[in-house]
Amino acid sequence: MKQFIVPIILFFSGILHLTGQIAINEIMYNPPEPGTDTLEYIELINLTDVPVNLTDYTFTSGIVYTFPTMMIPENGFVVICKQAQHFFDLFGMNVLEWTSGSLDNTGETLILANALGQTVDSVTYSDQGGWPGIPTDGNGSSLVLCDPFSDHNDPKNWQAASTPTGKYVNGVEVLANPLGSPTVNLPMTKRWSLQAFSMHNRIMPEQKVSRSIYSMMLPTSVSTAWGPPITVVDQMA
């Protein structure tokens, strides 16, 4: 019986290690929209070199959402947003839509838990108290994590996005990095990987994509709140 103890310990240690490497990487909590915010989004990043199963991961605080059967690829990204149609209209990207809830414009706690209910990441952001504040509070910028391997609740570890998108809302340019830009403090090899992934990840419905790039991120067919489902076509068969 003892011979099974070490493999079992290693197996569960591996699970805990992997789940601890999914981070909340970007938050658009107050887009520059008049009235009701529809362009809110949260981006997750996989900090490991192996795919991670996101099935039944759940936001237990901040918004209401449970992930479907899906994987996030190595060094890859997943974005979930408040209204997928509005997100697509602005960025031209298909992303997941959360079930309900809104991001508080003054700040709140976001908690992501794995399928076992264990907290994977937790961020308590704010529009004051050392956080970037004005640029991210209705003035176009998203909130971006600087170093995912440092304290995610340290205001100094977050910055206002400065990446131009060329997209304007209410006369204000949106500065953001949805679905990946090499802005985090990773080794150069990983930065290249993130940049390559982001270039391939900006797809339209029904567009053919490489299995190695995208099919690991979303299920074969994902139902959205609008239009036809996203379909991943295997070019490597």
pTM for this entry = 0.72
**Least reliable range by pLDDT among 95-99, 109-113, 206-210:** 206-210
Chain segment 69-79, per-residue pLDDT in tens: 999 999 999 99
CATH superfamily ID and name for 21-231: Lamin Tail domain (2.60.40.1260)
Q: For the residues 164-178, what does the mean pLDDT come to?
A: 95
Annotated domain spans of the chain: 21-231
User: Over 70: is that where the pLDDT of 222 sits?
Assistant: no
pLDDT at 3 over 60: no
Q: What single-letter amino acid sits at 210? A: S
Cβ(37)–Cβ(31) under 8 Å?
yes
Question: What is the pLDDT, as a whole number, of residue 217?
Answer: 40
Do residues 79 and 43 touch, judged by C-beta distance below 8 A?
Answer: yes
Instruction: Give CA–CA dist 169/180, Å, rounded.
Output: 21
